[in-house]
Amino acid sequence: MKIAFILFDGITFLDFAGFYDVIYRLGQFEIGKDLSWNICAASEEVKDELGFTVKAGKVLPELSEYDMVFVPGGMGTRKLRYDEAFVLWIAGAYNVPYKVSVCTGSLLLGAAGLLEGKKATTHPFAYELLKPYCEEVVETRIVHDGNVITGGGVSTSIDLGLYLISHLAGEGAMNSVKEQIDYPYEMQGIARI
């Protein structure tokens, strides 16, 4: 499995880091034996909402070559959803088997047309912003509708990673990862469509 992690200026870094720290552990299990990933962006460096700078490994790669595309959120999504070149790049993930977002990353999936006919979620403060882009906004933490999986607010990034570990490698794998990261909480608010 090859994953594209999408970064951009104005990202909420925990949206990315929470999911990344969990999902890379998929490589411990049979389904993830060929796991690889790229940190992808529209420029060589991006800054989060607080000024933290991250270097991208790939600049505007062809997203159709990935098995999973993950889009985090952050205040930068509000402006980027109107950036035609950026949205067109994200739209290149149309045939990717797993399109995943957390927080307001779903606004970017939506702006790229990837939520048409789908139920989705986002940060609770952004439910109204998401409505024009999907069939229905489900006010919960994780929504899995076909090949699109969206997560709610920032802390949901960890639950979303665990959910995908469970979905791809089984509940035993998920429990193993929870133990590794000392995560004592039970996931809640999952809507599988």
Catalytic choice (35, 56, 90, 103):
103
Q: How far is CA 128 from each of CA 2, 131, 190, rounded to the nearest angstrom?
A: 32, 5, 20
Sign of the torsion angle spanned by Cα atoms 175, 177, 181, 186: negative
| Catalytic residue flag (residue 40) | no
d(CA 75, CA 104): 8
Burial 100-139 (b: 16+ CB within 10 A, else e): bbbbbbbbbbbbbebbeebbbbbbeebeebbeebbeebbe
Residue 79 tokens read as 């402006």
Q: Nearest 10 degrees: CA dihedral of 75, 76, 77, 79?
A: 110
What is the set of active-site residues? 103
